Each structure stands twice: as structure tokens, then as C-alpha cells.
Structure 1
Amino acid sequence: MAGFFARGARAKVKQQDEEAALELRPITHADTMRRIELLDSFENAGLGWFWATDRHGRLIYLSENAAKTIGCDLDEIIGTQLTKFFIPEVDDQKSERPLNFLLGARNSISQLPVRLALGKNQAWWEIAGKPQFDKAQEFAGYRGSAKDISGTFQSQRDADRLAQFDSLTGLSNRHRMNKRLAATLQAFRNSKRSCALLMLDLDRFKQVNDTLGHPAGDELLRQVAGRIERVIGETGEIGRLGGDEFQIMIPDMDDRGELGELSKRLIQMVSQPYQISGSRAVIGTSIGVAVAPYDGIESEELVKSADLALYAAKGGGRGQYRFYHIDFQDGVKHRRQIEEDLRDAIENGELKMYYQPIVDAKTHKLQCLEALMRWEHPERGFIPPSQFIPVAEDIGMIKELGEWALTQTCLQAKQWPVELRVAVNVSAIQFTRDDFPDLVKSVLMETGLEPHRLELEITESVFLGDSERTQSTFEVLKRIGVRLALDDFGTGYSSLSYLQKAPFDKIKIDQSFVRGATEKGNNNPAIMSAIVSLAESLHMETVAEGVETKDELSLVKERGASHVQGYIFSKALSQDELLERLETKDLVYEPRGPDKYRADRKSVYRKISLIHEDHRYNVTLRNLSKTGAMIEGLLEVPLGTPVVLNLGGGQLAVAKVRRSSGYMQGVEFESALISDGADGLCTRHRVSPYQIEAAGRPLSSLPQDPYEMLKAELSGTYKPKAFMEIDPGASRRKNEKPASARADISAALG
């Protein structure tokens, strides 16, 4: 029985223990010990940690396990400013407030990623915290939690980087640049700031890809990216949009003088030769520039404006930059029309070959003629080659145009009554084709032109491809018997290595070395001398291109050029005009042109407005330079009169009248104009859209003539017009211009 009762007693005790185990014992607020045990177990399990600061932002508590994890003693951590312990890792594409701001404003912190500044190991935490206040509502510090996110954060950051950066160059990609630009423009609208956008497109990049292969193209893009970074530095953000397109965003820059200089440095840097897998490659770049808010308020509008400017730069001959102008809106339509019409131009007989004389520098006797293609459109008149040749290259018509030009030139040269050489320009695309020598041989046989009379002008861009194949082409052409000329020598891609093997008969000195060479302090004469000396030592002729004035002619003859080409002797002539001249057997050309080169004066003829006091006058702009202009249309304007010339597009040039005679005035600008990237001039600064907005108008990009929007705000007390407007052109059209008026004009022009 004892055993039975013993077993019964044990069962009862067990039942009581089980009942006791089922009894609920919540951890109440007053149960401090059990609450501490709970927090300790949470910290020890590594699920998260706790931290606290005093009212001065100093750490007064951090979980011990947290300190061990980062390899620090608590003594090193306690007392450290929270902002020095945690370094924010905030993605600039998101809108989180930085840690300093949150702490300074005493805001709550929620899921903020930070990097630890202390410790032996690199680590990232995600922290949260709330500000604490005492009974008097005085700030008492922060209490917060943290957890280690090092593993997931690094992976996420790498994934984010892949989504935002170009894997080939390491630059921002299109997605990131779009977001950055949109966010920047939105922020800058509030603070009335400007932002420049540059669009870059590489010239002749496709040729590198086609001749050297895609791996070489990728390496070239990496080198281009590195060069752009060296030029831009920390000034702006660079992105590769894809292919050979790059974009640069530069905050707080609207001075077109600075932007023009920057663009020139970029073009020069990108255009230097590249060494890729043992081969030498030469490319260039074209740049379009737009500035917010002048050329666009929203990112899409600004990108479109920069694209149109880039389009204009490429259409202008490439290797150039352009500032956006409202007239470019029509440029896209014009190019599409050129594309459509160019396909029919040959068939319709709209293309013609013209010939510009090249004369002996000493005797001025005609030696050779350069064949130049002209397109006379039935509706739009002459379209310059600088517009249609790049289009032909882009749409794949350059081979067809090149073959037509070569055939037509040889046919016409055979008709000349005097045996003269003729020079034909050959594009790099055409030259690098395997069948090019066969084409030359075939054309010579069909037309009957003697090989020694044909001169092929090529540019240095033919050397960017397979050097062995290029050399082989040279050798085949020389066996045929034609002459070879290196065109545009010295324009930025030159290398003496070209001349080691290439059998050139002639080097053409680019006109950029002739233009302005007579000005004091210009280094071009020394460069000309060096080129001539090099050519003579290699038994080559030299041609100085683009000679227009008598002082330029004297200089190039003095520097030893063997031949001269330019308007000083003749413009390009049609076949009929040339035949008429050759029939006379008069092969000596007399120089005709200005005595001196005037670099700063450009003849123009367009209507503009002149602002004086509260009034606007219509005048005619006759010539324009960086420092001043000649206008006509106002009578008897006193010397020293302050005026403003409205050059359009928000360009207001402040000036003073320095010469005045009859209805013509010479004005001097307060600030010099700058190059517009083409053959024109523009102001550094324009009327700000923010100024128009302040006058009560909605914020928008600049219209063609924003002055009218500002007129009411700028006008003061009404005064009558001070000058009388006249239209001297009307009297000229009626042939009624008196001798005194002619004298006035001569005096005004000086």
C-alpha cells in the first residue's frame, strides 16, 4: 500500500506542477528584472541592438554585443558624438533627410542606413530612434535601435549601382542622368539657379568599330570617358547614354563664354589620337549646349534643346560645338528634307562639280584645280556641302556620291583645252573600301584621263583603321599612277608617323593656320614654316588653303608655300566658266582682295531693334565684331549715346555710340561678344527667364524676343522718341542714294 500511496502522491505533485506551468505570468511594466532579461536575450541573440544619447548628442549606451561585433571596446564608443559614429549612406536618388538634419530638427529616425565610422571592420547598420523629453519637456537625447545590414546592404548597393551606372565606362547611365537632371532642375527653379547640359556624339566612331572590331570600340569608349572626366573633374556629372553618346550636366553655369571654352577643350581632348591594341585610332566629337532655364524648364525640354544644338554642330561639319538657338527647331525638318531630296539629286541632275584654281605661289600661274561638289536645289537654291555631305555619310550615300564625283570630274577634266591636274576629295569611308583602287582604275579607263593628272585628296582620318591595308591601298594607287595629297594637315590629328611610309606628293596647309596669321603675336606663321620645311625635306609640294587677303598672300609666300588656293585668286568656277577662261590660254591669276585681314568684323545685313531709354527703334545691322557693330536707320545720333542692341533670343548688348554720320552709327559694346561655335557671334549672357517671371509672366524658356515681356516693367516716365527712324535701304533700292550719303557711309566705316 505504501508504494501505491507513494505513486499517488507523486502523480498529484506532477499534476500540481503542470497546473502551475499553465498559469499565465505576463511581464508587466513594473517587472523590471524580467524586462531587462528580455532585452538582454534580444541583444545576445544578435537580432538587434540598442543605443542612446544624451541631450548633447553623445552616446551614453550601446549594446555590448554591438561593440564586440565592430571590434571596439565600449570605452572607446561611449561619449562619441552620434554624428561621428554613424556616417549616413543615403542614396542621392531618394529623398531621405540626412542624419544631421534629423538630429538637429529632433525628428524621429526610421530605417536609416548608416556606415560605422569606428571599428576594425567595415559595417552598415540600419538605425531607428525617437527623441526623448523630460517632465519639463526639455530635450533629453535619443533612444534607438539598430541592426546589422552589411550583407544585404552591399548586395543592394551593387544592384543599385548596376541600375544607375554604365558597366563599360563606370559613368552614370541614361536612367540615372534623367533622374539627376529632373531633380536638379526642379530644385534649381526654387532657388533661381541655372544648369548647363552638354550633349556629345563621337565622330567617326562607327568606322573604328567596323575596322578594328567591337572590343576595340569598347576600349575606345573607356578611354574617351576617362578623357572627359579629366576635363570636367568635379565641375559636373558625366553620363554615357548608350552607344557613342555622352551627356554632361554642369550646375550653376550659364556663361556661354565659359561653356564655349569648355566645349573647345573637350573637342581638343577627345580628338587626340588613341592607341588601342597596337593600332592607332583617331575620332572627333560634336557638342550641343543648352542651358536651363533659358533653353528649357523641364528636363525633357532641355534635353531636346541640347539634342537640336548637337544636330546643328554635326550638320555644320562636325568637330564643332553649338549653343541652342530657337531657329534650330526648323533644323530637323530641314535635315529630313535634305535626306529625302538627296536621294534624287544625282538622278535629277542637281549636283554639279565646280573647280577652284590652285596657283604657283611665285608666278601665280594655274597649276591644278580642286573639284568641289555643289548642290543646286530647284527650290532652296545652293545647299552647302557642309550640310549635305554629313547627311550622305549618315544615310550611306557617300559611296554613291564619291563615285559620281570622281567620274564626273575625270570626264570634265578630259574636256579642258589645257592639260592641268585635277584634285578630287575622297572620304575616309570611300578610301577604306577594298574596291577603291579598282574604282579609280575603272574610271580612268572609261574617261580616258591620264593617271598623272588625277590627284586624290585624303584626310588623316583614313589612318585610324588597319594601317597595313591603308599602306597597301597607297601602293596600289601609286602603281596606277595617280598623285596623293594630304588634306587639312595640322588640324589636330597630325602625326609624323603618317609620313613615314605614305607616298604623298602634296601637303595642304589647312586654312585655319592662314586665317589670322598676320595678326601680331599669332603662332601660325611658325607652324606654317615647320610644315613647309617638313614637306620640302620629303620632296612634297605645299598648298596654303583659304588665302583671301594680300597680307595673307605675302605671308604664305614668305613662309615658303609652293602653291596657293583661295578667294584672293578665284572662287570655285563652274565647268562652263572654267572652259571660257581656259580657252583664252590666260593661266596667270592676279590677286584681288582686301589688303589686310580683319578678323573681328563680319559683314551682315539684318533687321534688329535698338533700345534707347523707353523706346524701341528698328535699325539695320551692317557689320558685327566682338567689340562693336555698325548700324543704320537713325538720324543724327550724338556721340556717347547709351543704347542697347537687341540681337534676338534674349541677347541684349549694352553699347555706346562712338561714331555717327548721317544715318549710320558705330557702337562699342560694354562687354565683348563671343563665338557661337559656328561663324557667328553671340552674347555671353541672355535675359533671364527668372527676370521675366518676376515681371509677372509664367516661367518658361526664352521666346525669340523676350524684351517685349519686360518692356512694361523697364519703362519709366514716358518721354518722346529722341531720334528719327529712316529706311536707307528704300532709297538705295530706288537708286536715289546721293553722293553725300555715300560719303557718310565711307566716313562711318572708316
Structure 2
Amino acid sequence: MHGLILDLDACPSIDSSPAPLPAALAHEPDNRLQLAATAFEHSTAAVMITDTHQRILAVNAAFSIITGYSEQQALNQTPRLLASGQHDSAFFAAMWHKLNAEGQWQGEICNRRQNGDTYPSWLSINTQRDADGTISHFIAVFADISDLKRSAARLDHQAHHDPLTGLPNRTLFENRLSSALQHSQDSASLGAVLFIDLDRFKPVNDTLGHAVGDLLLKSLAQRLKDNLRDIDTVARLGGDEFVVLLPGLLQASDAQSIASKLLTSLQTPLPAGEHQLVIGASIGISLFPDDGLDSATLLKNADAAMYRAKAKGRNCVERYSHDLSVRRRERIALEQQLQQAIDNHQLSLSFQPRISLPDQRLSGAAVQLRWNHPQLGLLTPEHFMPLAEASGSSRQIGEWLMETACRQLQHWQKQQPGFGPLAISLTSAQLRQPQLPERMLQLLSAFRLKPASLQLEITEQSIMNQPEHTLSVLHSLKRLGIRLAIDDFGTGHSSLGYLKRLPLDALKIDRSFIRSLPEDRHDTAIVRAIIALGHSLQLTVIAEGIETPEQRRVLEAEGCRQLQGPLIGAPLAAEDFQEKCVVTRFLENADGAARQAPL
């Protein structure tokens, strides 16, 4: 049994050293004896006195309370009466050696009560010598430290376990990983670390509440444990991130098999209160010793592999490879640079014209964000906005984009009243903000814009990540008079039942369906169905990514009302858009002819 370090000198109730008496009692033997007897009987620590043959001569009341043995049962017995059998002969040999050498011993010992229960106690033994220095008695003082041990165990558990799921935390996980690494080195065995990040867990919290989210995490923790070996360790790092230690693997492919098993197990709904929820996960694998020889490296590499799993579409498993370290360093560097992009004036806006059909008149413009990176050149949002979402800077970028676009629209409307609408994409972070309608009202007021001169575009995926919250925010925006459109329609998983509840003005057909027109009959059928759906819901249908006259003709024939893409006009810097589309009020047809741009 491991000893518990306890300073008994600070505990008067079990202190075996005689305290100095007050001066008034120094010459009063009767009083000293009376005081000693009172202390003996009323001490909360057990006191046991034996002779040199270890026969028990006296015990106090606390002895009986702690051990269960009465005074009569204990007298003339030996301390073996309390032996638990959990200490070997070497333990007692060391005890007697110190007693003989120093006259005292103290330490933790496991004793047994009369009813057979064992308990930990802190024991102090002192020798009593007569006038000639010969040992005459042994005085043992001990206390039951069961409560203290339980408190220490609780504190230790709290320090090394996650309070929500009861799983090991990072500290305990890294301790076990260090031990596994040492064993791997000694035995030339394989092991692995799995880094697990839940896919789209945040919408659960946003839509169902944190209480349901917590229940989901607890169910998930149990599901992971149920699908692992006894020698494996699953730990929660925080939020929706978990790690798994797989020691003693026979071959590298075993890690892939176990990770795939965990993913499969998550296909069965998890109970979360009144809900049954299915949630996916992205899993990254790093092997030891191949991918690292220390905890930090293995966790970092498993994390990098997990990010690649997310980038490949989520709900899959990826093994670490060396190129991921390079990409991870590049991603971290880009993430840090992105934080400074606004302050360094590296972000800019481009404006792509949009026309209406069949008259082919200018019907506004779509705002497109660009990052003028000092080394990498001009970057489009798909290269940096996922980083912004992951790092938490997308809200700040979205706020900058919105304010800059409104300022530009105000400038153009001063030159040509009525220009618009200006289509602006909302980030997921902006859509999650309950204060978004109030902020939009502030911007409309500050720049003196009519609400209908703005069209806010939301991706289908952003809407479905938090459907109820999104519905509330969109209705608030609609009440302000702002136009609303669903972007990239057809690429997400929204239901028609939910779609009809949204206060939309327009649908944008995703460019992936436009690219193969008119050759691909399946894409043609999908586009025809989306346009018919838009008409039935009385929504304006907008097609983006138009590149060829053939695509334009198909869309016009099917009844699409607005077009945007390279064929119509490339994205332009504000100054160029102003010159070509706002001031001159002319656009150029795809065949080179000029047409007036109505404002």
C-alpha cells in the first residue's frame, strides 16, 4: 500500500510526544498523573500500551471505537490481534529496526477491525524506558485515516479526470502515454494515438441547449469505452475533442481497424435526455514509435491527421504522414497572419455584376472577399475562410466585410440613387449572433441605406447547422426589410418542409450544377427542378458561375431570373466596378455588344 504523507506532529489528537506541562503543575505529581489519565481516556486517537513481550496492558476508549475490540477482549493479547495480513515480514523488520535504533516509528499501516473490515491507519510507536535505560513498555497511538484517504482519492480523481464524462483528462492521458512509450521502447512494440473531433457538435448546443449537449458527450464517452479494449485509454481533452491511447498493437493496421470500429459505433443514435442523436466524428491517427517518441509530438501529429479527415469531408479516418507536419505549420502560420490581415489592410472586396433575364439589365452585384497576402498573392475565401472559422476570426472578418460593403454602397448610391441590391454573404459565426438584426439596423442607419438595397446570402449548410436559431434570426432580418437568399442551394441537406418556413427572397443554384450544362442530363434535370421549386415558392432564382452562352440559353429557357458569372462579368475592384457599371451605366454583352445598366 502506498503511504500517505501526513504530519502527525501537527495533529494533537494523535501526538505521542509528551507536551510540557504548565509551570504550576511541574511539582504536582498527582495532578500530572490525573492529567495523563484524562488525556489517555478522552483522546480521539487510539492508544495501546504493551510490555516488552508485546502483551497489551492498556487501551483507551478510542481503541475500542476504532477496532471494535473491547478493553477486556484486547488485554493480554498481542498487536497481531489487529493484523490485516497485507504487510510482509520485511515491513515489520524495518519497523523494529527503527524502534530499536531510534526509539520511535511512525507510518501508514493497514489494520483489521473485529468485524473483519480492513482500514488504513496512521501509527506512531514510542518506546518507554526505565531509570536504567531499559525498554519497559511500547506506547502505540493510531488513528483511522479512511476518511482522509477517501478525500485524497477524490481530489486525485478530480485532478486527473474530466468532471462531465468521468474520463481521464489530458494530464492522466499524457502520464499513461508516457508509460506506454517507455514500454514500447523496452519491448519494441507498437501503439497509436487517436485524435477524435466531433462533426457539427456546436449546432446541438445551439439548437437543443448545452444540457442536451452535455448528455450527448456523456453518452458518447460511454460508447467509446464500450468499443475499446480494457488496456486502452479514452480521454476527453475538452469541448468535443477526445483522444484514445492504443498500446500493444500487433500491426499498424490495427489502429485503422479500431478507429473505423469507433466511427461505425457512432452510426447508432446516442441517447441525450429525450433525444436520440446521431453525430459523426473525424479521427486522426499517429503511431508510435513511427510518428513520434513523445506525447506532445504524437498528439500534434494525430491532430494534424484529424484536420485532414475534416478537410476530406468529415466522418472519416486519416493516418498521419510527414507532409501533414508541413501543412500544419503552414496552416498555423496562415492562421496567425490572418489575424493581422485586417489591421494590415490586406483584405479587399471585389464586386461581380449580376443581370436579370430576359432583359439582361444590371440587377446589382455580389460582394466577394479577397486577401492580398504579401507572399501568396490574391487569395479567395475558400483558401482562408475555413481557417477563419476554426480560429474564431471569421466574425471579425464578416463584420469588416459588412461595414466596408455598406460604406461602398452608400458611396455609389450618392452617384446613382437606386443602385442595388448588393449581395453579401454571411459567415456562420455572424449567423450565430443573436444581435445580428440589431447590428444590421445600426449599419442601415449609419450609412442611410434602404433595407431592400442589401441582400444577405446564407449557405444551406449554415442554415441546417442551427435550424431553429437561424429561423429566428432570418425572420428578424426580414422584418427589417432586408432581402434574403439561400446560397449554394442543392449542396446541403435541407428539407423542403424546413425550406418553406424560411423568409427567403431568392435561391442561388450552386455552380457545381451549372458547370456541366447542357451536356449532363442529370444536372440539367436538377437545375430544372430547382428553378421550378423556386417559382412555386415565389422566389427569384439566381444561377452563379455562368461561363458559356449555352449555359445562359438553357437557364433562360428554363425560367431562371438572374445570372452571375464570368460570362456576365468578372469580379472587379470597387474603382473598376464604379467606372464600368455605376458611372457609365453600361455592361458589355457576352457577344461584345453594349447594353444599358439600369440603376
User: Normalization by structure 1: what TM-score?
Assistant: 0.45
Check the 8 A contact 2:515/2:545 in 1, yes or no: yes
The residue number in structure 2 matching 1:538 is 537
2:405 to 406, 409, 417: 409
5+ residue gaps, structure 2:
1-83, 85-153, 593-599
Deviation for aligned residue 1:455:
0.5
Amino acid at match of 1:241: R
- 1:200 correspondence with 2:196: yes
Q: Specify the SS of the correspondent of 2:496.
A: coil
Deviation for aligned residue 1:554:
6.5
Task: Work out the CA distance in 2 between the residues paired with 1:528 and 1:222.
Answer: 43
The residue number in structure 2 matching 1:446 is 446
Check the 8 A contact 1:185/1:292 in 2, yes or no: no
Check the 8 A contact 1:361/1:562 in 2, yes or no: yes
Task: Work out the CA distance in 2 between the residues paired with 1:511 and 1:224.
Answer: 37
Amino acid at match of 1:488: D
Greater alpha carbon shift after TM alignment, 481-490 vs 167-176: 167-176
The residue number in structure 2 matching 1:419 is 419
Matches within 5 A, 1:480-499: 480-499=480-499
The residue number in structure 2 matching 1:702 is none
Matches within 5 A, 1:107-186: none
Task: Work out the CA distance in 2 between the residues paired with 1:512 and 1:541.
Answer: 19
The C-alpha deviation readout for 1:345-404, integer Å capped at 9, x for no partner, is 334322211123344465655433221222223455334434543454455443332222
The C-alpha deviation readout for 1:476-505, integer Å capped at 9, x for no partner, is 322221101122334344123432322111
Check the 8 A contact 1:317/1:387 in 2, yes or no: no
Task: Work out the CA distance in 2 between the residues paired with 1:290 and 1:552.
Answer: 47
For the structure 1 residues 291 and 432, does the alpha-carbon distance in structure 2 shift closer, same or farther, using more than 3 Å as the test? same
Amino acid at match of 1:408: T
The C-alpha deviation readout for 1:579-618, integer Å capped at 9, x for no partner, is 23214433355299xxxxxxxxxxxxxxxxxxxxxxxxxx
Task: Work out the CA distance in 1 between the residues paired with 2:404 and 2:273.
Answer: 40
- 1:576 correspondence with 2:571: no
Check the 8 A contact 2:424/2:457 in 1, yes or no: yes
Amino acid at match of 1:461: S
The residue number in structure 2 matching 1:369 is 365
Deviation for aligned residue 1:410:
1.7
Q: Specify the SS of the correspondent of 1:508.
A: strand
Check the 8 A contact 1:422/1:454 in 2, yes or no: yes
Amino acid at match of 2:428: A
Task: Work out the CA distance in 2 between the residues paired with 1:554 and 1:170.
Answer: 62
For the structure 1 residues 316 and 370, does the alpha-carbon distance in structure 2 shift closer, same or farther, using more than 3 Å as the test? farther
Larger helix proportion, structure 1 or 2?
2
For the structure 1 residues 241 and 356, does the alpha-carbon distance in structure 2 shift closer, same or farther, using more than 3 Å as the test? farther
1:345 to 317, 341, 344: 341
Amino acid at match of 1:216: V
Amino acid at match of 1:426: L
- 1:215 correspondence with 2:214: no
For the structure 1 residues 555 and 378, does the alpha-carbon distance in structure 2 shift closer, same or farther, using more than 3 Å as the test? same
1:241 to 229, 236, 258: 236
The residue number in structure 1 matching 2:90 is none
The residue number in structure 1 matching 2:510 is 510
Task: Work out the CA distance in 2 between the residues paired with 1:571 and 1:224.
Answer: 48
Matches within 5 A, 1:205-604: 205-206=201-202, 208-209=204-205, 212-221=208-217, 239=234, 241-242=236-237, 243-247=239-243, 288=284, 295-296=291-292, 301-311=297-307, 324-360=320-356, 365-394=361-390, 396-416=392-412, 417=416, 419-459=419-459, 460-462=461-463, 464-465=465-466, 467=468, 470-514=470-514, 524-548=523-547, 561-582=560-581, 583-587=583-587, 589-590=589-590
Q: Specify the SS of the correspondent of 2:503.
A: coil
For the structure 1 residues 394 and 190, does the alpha-carbon distance in structure 2 shift closer, same or farther, using more than 3 Å as the test? same
Check the 8 A contact 1:185/1:298 in 2, yes or no: no
For the structure 1 residues 475 and 312, does the alpha-carbon distance in structure 2 shift closer, same or farther, using more than 3 Å as the test? same
Q: Specify the SS of the correspondent of 2:478.
A: helix
Task: Work out the CA distance in 2 between the residues paired with 1:561 and 1:229.
Answer: 53
Deviation for aligned residue 1:454:
0.4
Deviation for aligned residue 1:244:
0.5
Task: Work out the CA distance in 2 between the residues paired with 1:463 and 1:450.
Answer: 29
Q: Specify the SS of the correspondent of 2:449.
A: coil
Task: Work out the CA distance in 2 between the residues paired with 1:173 and 1:517.
Answer: 53
5+ residue gaps, structure 1:
1-46, 48-158, 593-750
User: Normalization by structure 2: what TM-score?
Assistant: 0.55
Task: Work out the CA distance in 2 between the residues paired with 1:255 and 1:559.
Answer: 53
Deviation for aligned residue 1:199:
3.1
Task: Work out the CA distance in 2 between the residues paired with 1:281 and 1:366.
Answer: 47
Check the 8 A contact 2:200/2:465 in 1, yes or no: no
Task: Work out the CA distance in 2 between the residues paired with 1:587 and 1:168.
Answer: 61
For the structure 1 residues 322 and 477, does the alpha-carbon distance in structure 2 shift closer, same or farther, using more than 3 Å as the test? same
Task: Work out the CA distance in 2 between the residues paired with 1:546 and 1:275.
Answer: 43
How many residues align? The count is 429
